[in-house]
A and B are shown apart, each in its own frame.
Chain A
Amino acid sequence: MRAASLVLLVWLGGALAQDPQLDRRVTNLAHELRCLVCQNQTLAESNAPLAVDLRNQIREQLAAGKSESQVVDFMVERYGDFVLYRPPFKATTVLLWAGPFLFLLAGFYFLARYLRRREVPAPRLSAEDRARAAKLLE
Chain B
Amino acid sequence: MKKVAWTLGVFVALVLLLAVGLRLNPREVPSPLIGRPAPAFELPLLMEPGKKFSEKTMLGRVWILNVWASWCPPCLVEHPVVTQVSRSGMAPVIGLNYKDKPEDALPWLKRNGDPYQLIAFDGSGRIGIDYGVYGVPETYIIDRQGVIRYKHIGPITADVVKKDMEPLVRKLNAGG
Chain A residues closer than 8 Å to B124, beta-carbon distance: 53
Interface centre among B32, B124, B131, B135 (most CB of A within 10 A): B32
Q: Mark A20-55, 1 if CB is under 8 A from B, else 0.
A: 000000000000000011010000000001100110
Q: Which of B88-135 contact A (CB under 8 A)?
A: 99, 124-126, 129-132, 134-135
Inter-chain contact A78/B33, CB cutoff 8 Å: yes
A49-B99, A53-B129, A54-B129 known; A79-B29 Cβ under 8 A: yes
Inter-chain contact B132/A82, CB cutoff 8 Å: no
- Report the minimal beta-carbon distance from A40 to chain B, rounded to whole angstroms: 9
User: A76 vs B99: C-alpha distance in the bound complex, in angstroms?
Assistant: 22
A49-B99, A50-B125 known; A78-B27 Cβ under 8 A: no
Inter-chain contact B32/A79, CB cutoff 8 Å: yes
Inter-chain contact B32/A36, CB cutoff 8 Å: no
A36-B134, A37-B135, A50-B134 known; A82-B29 Cβ under 8 A: yes
User: A72 vs B131: C-alpha distance in the bound complex, in angstroms?
Assistant: 16
**In-complex Cβ contact of A78 among B30, B99, B130 (8 A):** B130
Inter-chain contact A76/B135, CB cutoff 8 Å: no
Chain A residues closer than 8 Å to B27, beta-carbon distance: 39
Asked whether any CB of chain A lies closer than 8 Å to the CB of B175, the reply is no
User: A49 vs B99: C-alpha distance in the bound complex, in angstroms?
Assistant: 9
Asked whether any CB of chain A lies closer than 8 Å to the CB of B157, the reply is no
Q: Which of A51-67 contact B (CB under 8 A)?
A: 53-54, 57
Asked whether any CB of chain B lies closer than 8 Å to the CB of A121, the reply is no
Inter-chain contact A80/B99, CB cutoff 8 Å: no
Asked whether any CB of chain A lies closer than 8 Å to the CB of B50, the reply is no
- Residues of A bordering B, CB below 8 Å: 36-37, 39, 49-50, 53-54, 57, 76-80, 82
- Residues of B bordering A, CB below 8 Å: 26-27, 29-33, 99, 124-126, 129-132, 134-135
Q: List 23 A-B contacts (CB under 8 A).
A: A36-B29, A36-B134, A36-B135, A37-B135, A39-B27, A49-B99, A50-B125, A50-B134, A53-B125, A76-B32, A77-B32, A78-B32, A78-B33, A78-B131, A79-B29, A79-B32, A79-B132, A79-B134, A80-B31, A80-B32, A80-B132, A82-B29, A82-B30
